[in-house]
Amino acid sequence: MHINEIAKLMVSNGKGILAADESTGTMTKRLAGVRVESNEKNRLAFRHALFTSNNINKYISGVILFDETIRQYKDGETVGEILNNQNILPGIKVDKGAKKLVGSDESITEGLDGLRERLKEYFDLGAKFAKWRGVYNIGTQFPSRNCIVANAHALARYAALVQEANMAPIVEPEVLMDGNHNIQKCYDVTSKVLEETVNQLRIAGINFSGMVLKPNMILNGNDSGLKNDKEQVAELTLKCIQNNLPTEMPGVAFLSGGQSEFEATENLNQINKQNKSSFAFTYSFGRALQQSALKTWAKNLSDIEAVQKVFDERSKMNSLAAKGEWSADLENAA
């Protein structure tokens, strides 16, 4: 499949992406939160339940996997095959995490060394797309120009290698919600981050039709005490993205970033209601697609059907939001 087709499929038809690429450390934290032991078997059991739910292929275009998961088997099939057989695109997180930036309390994402070879292996394991996340904090001094440029440069080098390997890159510059800043500050910082990211992608010669951007929504800081107004969130998020993105890009798939499941869906819906462009705005949620399902699973590890029902319902709500057809009443009826 050509990378332009892959990128388009990832964000089209009211479908979105399930980010199930938590590193073992992050997954261990998530499982500890619901008092489930983190071992290889349990990590696969939960993820396999999601990947084989009745309606996953109605709402999910692709799944981002972690290195451990793409190598796992269930009933004689690899996880990549399980997804591919349902016309769901398997993807792979390829960054090696955010490390300390020299001379600052900020971070730089690493993982470029040996990436060309790793990508070849992932392609052979069935991956159709990849993901790399850069992280930016908002603070009085942050993010520094150094942090913005260094992460944009790494994202661009990663994206070029992924396209060379015939896969579509998800480029994820995440401005964190942590902090007491207001929504305008988030807008200003995210604008700078997106501008530099696109600048570096251009320098690296990226084919914008064959990639997907995964940004944060524009929100008040978590500790600001300010309530987000959904119309304002949608207005500023759309403005920020449309001012900075090349129109050839097929669309954008937001991260949820620590919003509740309800907020993430509500804001995505509002963005689509107010969207007048041809860009697709959809989801690439981790927590906002998995939280309730994980809590349900923790109550009874053998009741897979219950987990799948909760996951399908959450995915359906987000799929409606990706088309601007969601409403809170539908949520209550569920």
Looking only at residues 136 through 175 of this chain, which bind ligand 13P when binding is defined by CB under 6 A?
172
Smaller CB separation from ligand 13P, 19 or 119: 19
Looking only at residues 283 through 302 of this chain, which bind ligand 13P when binding is defined by CB under 6 A?
285-288
Say whether residue 129 binds ligand 13P (CB under 6 A).
Answer: no
User: Phi and psi of 62, rounded to 5°?
Assistant: -155, 160
Q: How far is CA 288 from CA 56, 230, 265, 284, 305, in A?
A: 15, 17, 8, 9, 19
Say whether residue 282 binds ligand 13P (CB under 6 A).
Answer: no
Say whether residue 19 binds ligand 13P (CB under 6 A).
Answer: yes
| Residue 172 annotated as catalytic | yes
Which residue lies nearest ligand 13P, judged by its C-beta? 286
Q: Which stretch binds ligand 13P (CB under 6 A): 33-41, 112-120, 279-287, 311-319?
A: 279-287
Say whether residue 281 binds ligand 13P (CB under 6 A).
Answer: no
Q: Could you give the CA distance from residue 82 to residue 90 in angstroms, rounded to a whole number?
A: 9
How many residues in the shown chain lie near ligand 13P by CB under 6 A? 10
Q: From the candidates 22, 93, 131, 172, which is the catalytic residue?
A: 172
Say whether residue 256 binds ligand 13P (CB under 6 A).
Answer: yes
Q: Which contacts (CB < 8 Å, 24+ apart) does range 235-241 have?
A: 235/274, 236/183, 236/184, 236/186, 236/187, 237/267, 237/271, 238/271, 238/274, 238/275, 238/277, 239/187, 240/187, 240/190, 240/191, 240/194, 241/194, 241/213, 241/215, 241/279
Least distance in Å: CB of 21 to ligand 13P? 6
Q: Could you give the CA distance from residue 158 to residue 138 in angstroms, rounded to a whole number?
A: 24
Residues found near ligand 13P in the complex (CB under 6 A):
19, 133, 172, 255-257, 285-288
Active site residues: 172, 214
